[in-house]
Amino acid sequence: MEVFFQQVVSGLATGGIYGSVALALVMIYQATDVVNYAQGEMAMFSTYIAWTLLDKGVPYWWAFVLTLVISFAGGVLLERIVIRPVENKPILTIVIVCIGLLVILNSMAGWIYSYIQKPFPSPFPPKPIMLGTVVFGAHDLGAIGVTLVVLAFLYAFFRFTTLGLAMRAAAQNPVSSRLCGIRVGWMLAIGWGLASMVGAVAGMMVAPIVFLDPNMMAGILIYAFASATLGGFTSPGGAVLGGLIVGVIENLVGTYVHFIGTELKLTVALALILVVLVFKPSGLFGRAAVHRV
Amino acid sequence: MTPRARAVGVAAALAVALALPLFVSNFRLFQFTQVAVYAIALLGLNVLTGYNGQISLGHGAFYALGAYTTAIMIDKWDVPYPLTIVTAGLLCLVVGFLFGIPALRLEGLYLALATFALALAIPQILKYFEHWTGGSQGIVLSKPNAPWGLRLSPDQWLYFFTLAVLVALFALARNLLMGRTGRAIVAIRDNAIAAQAMGVNTALYKSLTFGVSAAYTGVAGGLSAIVIAFVAPDAFNVFLSITFLTGIVIGGLASISGAIFGALFIQFVPNWAQDISKAAPWAIYGIFLIGFMYVMPFGIAGAVRLALARLGRRGTAARA
């Protein structure tokens, strides 16, 4: 039983990370109707900015806040400069531009900071917390806590502020929103900014675990996609929960189903997601898309 | 474009393709054989994504399935290679059709993600069945020699062989897409409900399109195994599937010639990027990608069509 609880706990820890990146993906999807394939690399680049600040001797939480501000500005700029020219083009054209952005960011980070792994500090104490015989890493708990705080902020922002309402409207029905006086283009830009910020938080929480290098997000982005799909692309809470579920399933399958072991655990997690999708085509918590005929 | 102009265009392209081995080295020729292989795979994906509107991020999986079918049949049972390619195509047809049935319930983004999962799982599955696939080491094949005593190097022979398969498959796809079936496929993309109301069996056509698309990609995979004479799991990673998607969008969605333009792009542009900047080649590649999409949002084939239409209009205006 102890092994079981320990595996669930460490599954939740990795799952929290998948969930935070999934949250960023879902954010951009809700605010702009585009899945941003460059999300992981944007988060990675933000983390490098944080690393540069820390390297210059800025205290951790100051560096944290500064990184968020820079990331927000960077996200807005990327939308204005790179995405805007293809805003009304076919969806696949936008997808390819995002893939272009992905390889550029990855390559630039490698060029500027080199491909050597760098350690990244955690703001939480290194001492593990014992509960009975189950060990909780302080950083893992902290990371999940930070993700939940971000989720709460986003929920409040979209639910209770005029700007949040305007952003939701702009994504859902751009034409009518424009007629109501909402500046749809800028709403999209702010959506990118926010998602870039959420990504930065995720990046800074991931980096102490996997070390900082230009490819650190590639694997995580894949799990984040899976989590967002499982939870439903229209539900931020679902994305976080989806992340936790994927993390736990992956760990338990790897531990208990012996012929699968660690080699096929990704495959099994993905197969489970496919099964869920067949029965719930919009994910566990997503709304089914409604089409006008 | 008039049918006559189109025929002239196709004939000219074929003439260039046939004359190519006279002018280029064996290595360059090998690269062009790769282009032909990619073009077949891209055409398959384009039938599904461009014409039928189902986005797949998992065609690398069918490419891998085709490649391993061919490699295992040659390696374990000494089957003649043309036969293995037919088998690869048929197997992928069946698997693609079967995958297409659950995929019917998924739309857009969720379908993209489901197929993406397929692409992700492939390298691990291939490594797991080590007995058949040779694990991470892969399977080494030998390049076939030219038959009938033809005096061609293996690279030259494979080029002509691939080209023949390409021409046959392109002609087949054109006939499929220009007829009743093709209209049904496109109608489903444009408005599935209206298509159904007109009597199109949406479910059957969508799964069939998935099967045909997978079959094309499987044939391409089988050819690639023979052309490269080597298969290994890590060649069939997620980026292969993403490269295919990039290829059809850059080449031009819902366009047969687009598959060839796209194949030329994915084969040669990464090399050029490498030549331009050794330090950050992928940054250059990314700039190329974004630049192409800005200038030609409907792909190369779309840009060519637009240019020809403009020229044509000017021509008629001058004559009038």
Contact B286 A104 (CB under 8 A): yes
Q: In terms of Cα–Cα distance, which of A276, A268, A265, A210 is closest to A238?
A: A276
d(CA A286, CA B291): 35
E strand or H helix at A247, and its extent?
Answer: helix A236-256
Provide the pLDDT confidence category of residue B39 given band limits of 50, 70 and 90: very high
pLDDT of residue B318 exceeding 60, the answer is no
Distance from CA of A270 to the nearest CA of B (A): 6
Looking at residue A219, its amino acid is: G
Partners of B289 on chain A (C-beta within 8 Å) are: 96-97, 99-100, 103
Mean pLDDT of B220-238: 85
Distance from CA of B283 to the nearest CA of A (A): 4
Task: Provide the residue count of chain A.
Answer: 293
Domain presence at residue B1: no
Domain presence at residue B196: yes
Distance from CA of A266 to the nearest CA of B (A): 7
Residue B314 pLDDT:
64
In contact, A92 and B253? CB cutoff 8 Å? yes
Domain presence at residue B318: no
Provide the pLDDT confidence category of residue A290 given band limits of 50, 70 and 90: low
Domain presence at residue A71: yes
Residue B216 pLDDT:
93
Distance from CA of B198 to the nearest CA of A (A): 14
Write the residue in A86, A274, A277 that is nearest to B297 by C-beta.
Answer: A86
Domain presence at residue B315: no
Write the residue in B109, B124, B290 that is nearest to A266 by C-beta.
Answer: B124
Distance from CA of B158 to the nearest CA of A (A): 32
Search chain A and give the residue with CA nearest B287: A100
Partners of A101 on chain B (C-beta within 8 Å) are: 286, 290
Domain presence at residue B313: no
In contact, A167 and A187? CB cutoff 8 Å? yes
Mean pLDDT of A127-146: 77
Residue B63 pLDDT:
92
Domain presence at residue A146: yes
Domain presence at residue A113: yes
pLDDT in tens, A228-285: 888 888 888 888 888 888 888 888 877 777 666 666 667 776 777 777 777 877 777 7
Residue B214 pLDDT:
92
Q: In terms of Cα–Cα distance, which of A163, A148, A183 is closest to A12?
A: A148
| Least confidently predicted of B38-42, B277-281, B308-312, B314-318 | B314-318
Contact A111 B279 (CB under 8 A): yes
The model carries a pTM of 0.81
Chain B interface mutation, best of A35, A103, A259, highest count of B Cβ atoms under 10 Å: A103
pLDDT in tens, B107-158: 777 787 778 778 877 887 887 777 777 777 777 777 777 778 777 788 888 8
Q: In terms of Cα–Cα distance, which of B246, B221, B224 is closest to B57?
A: B246
User: Which residues of B have a CB under 8 Å from any CB of A?
Assistant: 49, 55, 102, 105-110, 112-114, 116-117, 120-121, 124-125, 127-128, 193, 238, 242, 245-246, 249-250, 253, 279-283, 285-290, 293-294, 297-298
Write the residue in B249, B283, B298 that is nearest to A107 by C-beta.
Answer: B283
> What's phi and psi for A169, nearest 5 deg?
-65, -45
Distances (CA, A) of A159 to A60, A95, A166, A168: 31, 29, 11, 9
Contact B114 A283 (CB under 8 A): no
Domain presence at residue A279: no
A78-116 per-residue burial string, b: 16 or more CB within 10 A, e: under 16:
bbbebbeebeeeeebbbbbbbbbbbbbbbbbbbeebeee
Which distant-in-sequence residues (6+ apart) come within 8 Å of A149 by Cβ? Answer: none
Query: Domain count of chain A?
Result: 1
Mean pLDDT of chain A: 82
Write the residue in B110, B116, B120 that is nearest to A282 by C-beta.
Answer: B110
Chain A interface mutation, best of B115, B241, B288, B289, highest count of A Cβ atoms under 10 Å: B289
pLDDT in tens, B59-105: 888 999 999 988 888 887 877 888 888 898 999 999 888 888 877 77
Residue B320 pLDDT:
43
Domain presence at residue B189: yes
Burial of B129 (0-12, 13-18, 19+ CB in 10 A): exposed
Give the A:B interface size as CB pairs under 8 Å.
123
User: Which structural domain range is residue A204 located in?
Assistant: 24-221
Mean pLDDT of B224-238: 83
Domain presence at residue B122: yes
Contact A99 B242 (CB under 8 A): yes
Domain presence at residue B75: yes
The residues pairing with A129 across neighbouring beta strands, listed in sequence order, are: A136
User: Which structural domain range is residue B157 located in?
Assistant: 23-238
Residue A67 pLDDT:
93
> What's phi and psi for B230, nearest 5 deg?
-165, 135
pLDDT of residue A90 exceeding 50, the answer is yes
Partners of B114 on chain A (C-beta within 8 Å) are: 229, 273-274, 277
Query: Domain count of chain B?
Result: 1
d(CA B317, CA B295): 27
Q: In terms of Cα–Cα distance, which of B66, B104, B113 is closest to B238?
A: B113
The share of chain A scoring above pLDDT 90, in percent, equals: 8
d(CA B84, CA B222): 7
